[in-house]
Structure 1
Amino acid sequence: MSRVCELTGKGPMTGNNVSHAKNRTKRRFLPNLNDVTLASDVLGRSFKFRISAAALRTIDHRGGFDAFLAKAKDSELSANALKVKKDIAKAQAE
């Protein structure tokens, strides 16, 4: 399972462990991913995603899942999230 947020595209970063003697060894900083179920008000159903904790806070800040997807860039979304975004846009147009 890939370690990438489905809504923001946030993935692992690289850096160094630095010892007291300033020895540097490579390491990875992994995003804080959680399995969550997000409800869409427009479609009236829920969707499961693997998203970062920062993305979950952003969803609350923007006023819900539908509002977050409306502002989200298509290049950052996973294929599953992109399909949900298009379904929501189609339902709002009707």
Structure 2
Amino acid sequence: MSRVCELSGKAVMSGNNVSHALNRTRRVFRPNLIKASLLSDVLGQSVALKISTSALRTVEHNGGLDNFLVKARDVNLSLKARRLKKLVKQKLAAQAA
């Protein structure tokens, strides 16, 4: 799963460079990926993920990794992120009980 954001599912896209003379040549649009360590408050540990910068901003906007994972759809998440989401939900359920 290289060049794919683990949280948003953003991946490589392809398209055309279009010149002034309307000549078209193929090109690749790559997502802006970074390796980030995000802190999970519920689990009490940091998690290293390969995410896009827009996903990092969204995580911060939602109030942290745990809130983002609880709200996120499983279709967009990677296998590692889905497992992390499951652990967070279990821990939150245990704290509520």
- SS at 2:3's partner residue? coil
Distance 1:19 1:45 in 2: 49
Pairwise CA RMSD of aligned residues? Answer: 0.9
Partner of 2:73: 73
1:40 aligns with: 40
| Alignment match, 1:3 | 3
Structure 1 length as normaliser, TM-score?
0.96
Segments of 5+ residues of structure 2 without an aligned counterpart are: none
TM-score, reference length from structure 2: 0.93
Q: CA deviation at 1:13?
A: 1.2
- Structure 2 SS opposite 1:91: helix
The 4+ residue runs of structure 1 with deviation greater than 3 A are none
Structure 1 unmatched runs, 5+: none
Aligned length: 94
Aligned to 1:50: 50
The one-letter code matched in structure 2 to 1:74 is D
CA positional deviation for 1:20: 2.2
Structure 1: which amino acid aligns with 2:9?
A: G
Aligned mates of 2:23, 2:74 — CA distance in 1:
41
- C-alpha deviation, 1:82, in angstroms: 0.6
Shift of 1:69: 0.2
Shift of 1:21: 1.6
Q: How does 1:77-92 map to 2 (within 5 A)?
A: 77-92=77-92
Cα deviation 1:32-72 (Å, max 9, x = unaligned): 00000001000000110000000000001111110000000
